[in-house]
Amino acid sequence: MLDLAALPALPRTERVQAIDGWLAGLLADALAGTPRPQGRRGTVAADEGTGIALVAVGSLGRREPAPLGDLDLVLVHDGRPEIAALADALWYPIWDAGVRLDHSVRQVSEAVAVAGSDVKAGLGLLDARHVAGDPVLAATLRSAALASWRQSASRLLPELRDIRRERARQVGELGFLLEPDLKEAYGGLREGQVLRALSAAQVADEPAADAGEAYAFLLDVRDQLRRLSGRPSDVLVRQEQARVADALGLPDDDALIRQVSLAGRRLAFVADETWRRAESAIVRRPRARYRRVRREPLAEGVVRQGDEVVLARDARPAVDPGLVLRGAAAAARADLLLSPYTLKVLAAHAPQLPEPWPPEVRWSLLRLLASGRSAVAVIEQLDQEGLLSRMLPEWDRVRSLPQRHPWHRFTVDRHLVEAAAAAAELTRDVDRPDLLLVGALLHDIGKGWPGDHTDVGVVVIEEMAVRMGFAPPDVATLVAMVRHHLLLPDIATHRDLDDPATIEGVVSAIGADPALLQLLHALAQADGAATSSSAWSPWKAHLVAALVGRVQARLGAAAAPDPVLEPTTPQVTARAPGSDGTAVQLTVGVEDVADGQQVSIGAPDRPGLLSICAGVLALNQLDVRAAKVTVDGGGAVLVFAVRPRFGRAPVPEILADGLRAALEGTLPLAERLRQREADYRQDAVRSAPPRISWHDTEATGVAASRVELRAGDRAGLLYRLTAALADTGLDVVSAHVETLGADAVDSFYVADPTGTPIDAGQRARAEAVLVAAARGEAPDPTDLGAAHARR
């Protein structure tokens, strides 16, 4: 007789042996006590080993029965008429013992037919294991079930995928639950079973060893949970966590939940990667094997291949410290993922980042974070392969760190990533979107250390910001963001906003810095959105906005600083046609600077000059990050801070040739740039609409209005914008362009050539063409002649 009370305390291997031995004895007793029909030959002893087999499926079939769990059994036979009586003789003693039983009686053909039409039945038979009786019959069942599963994979696997997605929606993701369902939550034990099923269908490889270790840990947690609670539940409730942690030798319940989160996230990550591979194998495209996969360049060292990002053939990951973040940013910007093989290569060969970080690496991080929601999955890829903590060692302190407050939906690390994704939607509300993105990513980094997380965080982020290569004023701003990231919500919800002392208290805390106030407001919104709807309700958002409005009125407005660009010494002097057809002198200079190159162009002023220069730079695969245009008398000087998209530094002679050809009309800029955009589809802008604001000014020495546009950056954007303004008949007397993260912040000082103020109708037309140009909807101009305004 099986000692049920002792079973939960036994290790799994001994538990399986005890159950198997008990079941084998029950089958022998049933065979011995079941009368044979007339005409059957032989004795019971001779018959009991042939034609009948007791097969375990489910957890017992996998040799991992949970304490107090069900027994899933199939009685397989070869068509014996007395099978009903035999089954009764077998099942009733199990029920009498108080064990819950899920049972069936099948011939091999019947079992396979059910498995071929029912995904759950088919999944269960993949774990079929002989317990007692005819081993040949049990082996036949297992082989037939496996063959049926493979044959029906294209029909059953999509159904299995949909079941798992629906279960994830209902139950949640194991890695982020404070009371997780160890079995059914996404990333739970079911994922390990599904991974084996995908492997059995031959649409995916066997799960990696670390996925097996994560699965085994969750089994251990479930075993201890059931043993200690005395209940057949898989939900790790709060009141049992301390005891389970102690039984597993972990320090406390937080350590347990953190380890469960790490295991669940690993299983979920492997499952996601495996499903992507499996779906491409399930959907059989006609003649796919003969179709050449297109490789589309995305950035230096990485290309798009199919639906993922892989290393270019000339990539050198061992000597390119910026490749990891550059590839991650390119993937997120194209709304793709890095291929698993690429991740493995980068994890094995990527060097440590120099300190401080090179500007190119910092810029790639900003591009990654600015991609918003599409960056979350890419950052998870870097995290799971250990690349994120290699770049940011402090990240290990917050990985899967639980947050016990009921408002929090995520662990600390995912909360930070979600906050950065939310901040990406707010970058057009601040003058320094780069600092907003980094501040959002690191605002709670202090939670990884003992003590008040704000006090610790200001120390940690200062060290990290210096290591990232931020300038001292930017480091100070990031520190202030972490120190005061809770200031606005706390004051807005606990103080009287009409009390002048409340406003003075905010000003006293942050100083007379409108830019910092902008950042703190956006950070509060991102932090709240990444926490929960309870943490950031419309009521709370209204109170914080009202407080910010009052503080802004107290501080007054301040304009964003212009980019500091000084002309480079000319290296090439050429002759090009002027606006009247006569030859004029054209100078081009290129200089290496800290964050890319600087291109200076000098030429007599003429209609469309800025548009032409911007178009030539875009055509040479140079991303314009900042620009400054000055016109003095009849001459114009244009200075551009550029970054080569594919690592090829600009050549002054090539730029001069392109400019000369564009000025004389032999280079069809519009047509070439249209083709360039078609070739590089990843330049599609984010879905947030462009934002335009007007500011009257006399700063340029002539009556002018400053129009500022914030929009998603893309190749050729400056060319489109300046050409669009030219078509409205407005003069651009000065321009200041800057790209931060994935957004362009472009200011154009425009005036009516007649000297009259720009009226509402002209503003409306200018706004319409700028928005269309920023979205890539406006037709490219083909003639940059007299209709263009002066640049």
Tens of pLDDT, residues 773-787: 888 765 444 443 333
| Shared-domain flag, residues 109 and 166 | no
Counts of helices then strands in the chain (DSSP H, E): 30, 17
| Shared-domain flag, residues 54 and 195 | no
The tokens describing 68, both together, are 């107090």
Cis peptide bond prior to 356, omega within 30° of 0: yes
Check residue 718 and give its pLDDT: 84
Check residue 7 and give its pLDDT: 85
Residue that is last in its domain, among 261, 282, 303:
282
Are the beta carbons of 563 and 628 closer than 8 angstroms?
A: yes
Sign of CA dihedral 215, 221, 226, 232: negative
Lowest mean pLDDT among 500-514, 626-640, 702-716, 754-768: 702-716
| Shared-domain flag, residues 616 and 734 | yes
509's enclosing H/E stretch is helix 500-510
What is the extent of the structural domain holding 32? Answer: 7-151
Among residues 380, 370, 376, 375, the alpha carbon closest in space to that of 425 is found at 370
115: number of Cβ within 10 Å: 26
Task: Note whether residue 371 is domain-resident.
Answer: no
The tokens describing 660, both together, are 């000369």
Task: Note whether residue 426 is domain-resident.
Answer: no
Interatomic CA distance for residues 489 and 526, integer angstroms: 12
| Shared-domain flag, residues 752 and 672 | yes
Task: Note whether residue 82 is domain-resident.
Answer: yes
Residue that is last in its domain, among 510, 526, 558:
558
The tokens describing 57, both together, are 């499926």
| Shared-domain flag, residues 649 and 690 | yes
| Shared-domain flag, residues 15 and 51 | yes
Position 267 confidence tier, pLDDT thresholds 50, 70, 90: very high
What's the structural domain count of the chain?
4
Long-range contacts of 697-705 (CB under 8 A, 24+ apart): 697/749, 699/749, 700/733, 700/734, 700/749, 702/733, 702/751, 703/751, 703/755, 703/757, 704/733, 704/734, 704/749, 704/750, 704/751, 705/749, 705/750, 705/751, 705/757, 705/758, 705/763
Residue that is last in its domain, among 525, 558, 591:
558
| Shared-domain flag, residues 86 and 202 | no
Query: Between residues 416 and 631, which one has the greater pLDDT?
Result: 416
Query: Between residues 280 and 562, which one has the greater pLDDT?
Result: 280
Angstrom distances, CA of residue 543 to CA of 35, 535, 539, 548, 554: 82, 13, 6, 9, 17
Mean pLDDT of the chain: 86
Interatomic CA distance for residues 732 and 608, integer angstroms: 10
Position 790 confidence tier, pLDDT thresholds 50, 70, 90: very low
Interatomic CA distance for residues 319 and 335, integer angstroms: 27
| Shared-domain flag, residues 192 and 79 | no
| Shared-domain flag, residues 700 and 762 | yes
Could you say which DSSP state residue 790 is in? Answer: B
Angstrom distances, CA of residue 552 to CA of 474, 511, 514, 518, 536: 21, 12, 7, 9, 22
List CB contacts of 213: < 8 A, sequence separation 6 or more. Answer: 263
Residue 166, domain CATH:
1.20.120.330
The tokens describing 681, both together, are 């589809």
**569 SS3 class:** coil
Burial class of residue 283 (count of CB atoms within 10 Å of its CB; 0-12, 13-18, 19+)? exposed
Angstrom distances, CA of residue 639 to CA of 278, 359, 543, 632, 645: 51, 19, 44, 14, 18
Radius of gyration of the chain (CA): 34
Among residues 180, 169, 174, 191, the alpha carbon closest in space to that of 235 is found at 180
Lowest mean pLDDT among 189-193, 272-276, 750-754: 750-754
Residue 755, domain CATH:
3.30.70.260
Task: Note whether residue 615 is domain-resident.
Answer: yes
Task: Note whether residue 389 is domain-resident.
Answer: no
The tokens describing 472, both together, are 């001292």
Check residue 681 and give its pLDDT: 56
Task: Note whether residue 407 is domain-resident.
Answer: no
> Is the backbone of residue 713 left (phi > 0), alpha (psi -120 to 50) or beta?
beta
Strand partners, 638: 601, 629
- Diameter over CA atoms, the chain: 118
Check residue 634 and give its pLDDT: 76
The tokens describing 109, both together, are 């053909």
pLDDT tens-digit profile of 321-360? 999 999 999 999 999 999 999 999 999 999 999 999 999 8
pLDDT tens-digit profile of 214-246? 999 999 999 999 999 999 999 999 999 999 999
Cross-sheet strand order for the sheet of 337-338: 295-299, 302-305, 308-311, 337-338
443: number of Cβ within 10 Å: 30
| Shared-domain flag, residues 514 and 488 | yes
Are the beta carbons of 255 and 279 closer than 8 angstroms?
A: no
Task: Note whether residue 89 is domain-resident.
Answer: yes
Check residue 47 and give its pLDDT: 44
| Shared-domain flag, residues 541 and 605 | no
Are the beta carbons of 122 and 156 closer than 8 angstroms?
A: yes
HEC string of 152-203?
Answer: CHHHHHHHHHHHHHHHHHHHCEHHHCCCCECCCCECCHHHHHHHHHHHHCCC
Interatomic CA distance for residues 628 and 638, integer angstroms: 6
b/e 446-455 (16+ beta carbons within 10 angstroms → b)? bbbbeeebbe
Position 563 confidence tier, pLDDT thresholds 50, 70, 90: low
Residue type, 600: S
Task: Note whether residue 77 is domain-resident.
Answer: yes
Interatomic CA distance for residues 227 and 7, integer angstroms: 9
List CB contacts of 182: < 8 A, sequence separation 6 or more. Answer: 174, 188, 189, 218, 221, 222, 225, 234, 235, 236, 260
Interatomic CA distance for residues 219 and 205, integer angstroms: 22
Angle at 131 between CA 128 and CA 137, to 5 degrees: 65
Could you say which DSSP state residue 235 is in? Answer: B
Side-chain-side CA neighbours of residue 464 (13 Å):
23
Residue 22, domain CATH:
3.30.460.10
pLDDT tens-digit profile of 613-660? 988 998 888 888 777 888 777 788 888 888 887 777 888 999 999 988
HEC string of 367-427?
Answer: HHHCCCHHHHHHHHHHHHCCHHHHHCHHHHHCCCCCCCCCCCCCCHHHHHHHHHHHHHHHH
Check residue 782 and give its pLDDT: 41
| Shared-domain flag, residues 57 and 105 | yes
